[in-house]
Copies of this chain bind each other. A is one copy, B any other.
Amino acid sequence: MSHNSFGRLFQVTTFGESHGPLIGGVVDGCPPRIALGESDIQPWLDRRRPGQSRFASQRQEPDRVRIVSGVFEGVTTGTPIGLLIDNVDARSKDYSDIQDKFRPGHADYTYIAKYGLRDHRGGGRQSARETAMRVAAGAIARKVLGAEVSVRGAVIRIGEIAADPARWDWAEVERNPFFAADAGVVGRWEELLDGVRKAGSSIGAVIEVRASGVPAGWGAPVYGKLDADIAQAMMSINAVKGVEIGAGFGAAALRGEQNADRMRAGNDGRPVFLSNHAGGILGGISTGQELVVRFAVKPTSSILTPVETVDRQGRDTEIVTKGRHDPCVGIRAVPVGEAMLACVLADHMLRHRAQCG
């Protein structure tokens, strides 16, 4: 029951801190005979990498992944896949002045409350740097899922400005620095983020991740529900404060007639749903429709505005968090959210196969 593992049959364990020599991960339970190389993982890491636009941290990390076990002659062997990424551009001096002060919104105080000490360099284990390993594991999960299952995400809201779902275009996502699926919102977000960045401030966002090609039947009733595991996965991402599936919080305002996804006979014997308020999951089990997941990311807690806080000695003080931070950490959460959904799906694919053949 490791605190640092995720998944049951497709299990990901990570280790490493922001300013240690490296971060690492172990993917256990991966089926054998899947073609896998570093070039299958690197492109996904590159999408998450900082330093690629003025709207992300300027830390320069090549995030070059090495596969150190579990792959032989280009295919998985069924044994644990060890993954290592060196920390290259860790500047510990940036953090030396915050050694004794608790940054509001960060886990500085809670780590001390729990463990009595913490690795304060760059947030240590709390750093979002750990999410690089999630993205690497997610790349492997995609290989397990195969080409039929596609997992994609986009930012749908930054601050008060929402993308227009009617203009959704997946191709647009890779063309702008916001992972926006709506070309029309890009200019407005640029303007918003430039203002936020110049003010030394930060802002929150909402991300939507969808999976298509998931067959009906994955998941389980009661506690092993697919949506429950997705909720856990998304809420485990740094700075996430909310998760919803399908109609989500909006379902609370609906009548039963509005919410029910009507079914009609399909050509292949399987039903066709006339809507997708369920977000592809009923009773914890996939319906065969597209999975639709949204999660909310709070504004980066590292800001240049001085904020009241206390120090380790319990005295009142103020703090300004210098360093190289994302003005909207929600943007780079897109590849992370995709990766987590891919991992949950790979896990449930194996779990379903175990019980139901």
Contacts and interface: CB of A to CB of B under 8 A. Distances in A.
A11 B16 contact: no
The complex is assembled from copies of this chain, and their number is 4
Given A15-B81, A251-B242, A117 B260 contact: no
Contacts of A13: 2, 5, 13, 26, 28, 80
B308 A262 contact: yes
Contacts of A339: none
B249 A68 contact: no
Interface in A99-150: 102, 104-107, 109-111, 113-119, 124-126, 130
Nearest to A160: B253
Given A202-B256, A241-B246, A255-B203, A115 B77 contact: yes
Contacts of A68: 15-16, 20-22, 24
Contacts of A75: 117
Interface residues of A, number: 156
A78 interface: yes
Interface stretch (A39-47, A55-63, A182-190, A213-221): A213-221
A58 B221 CA distance: 25
Contacts of A265: 310, 314-316
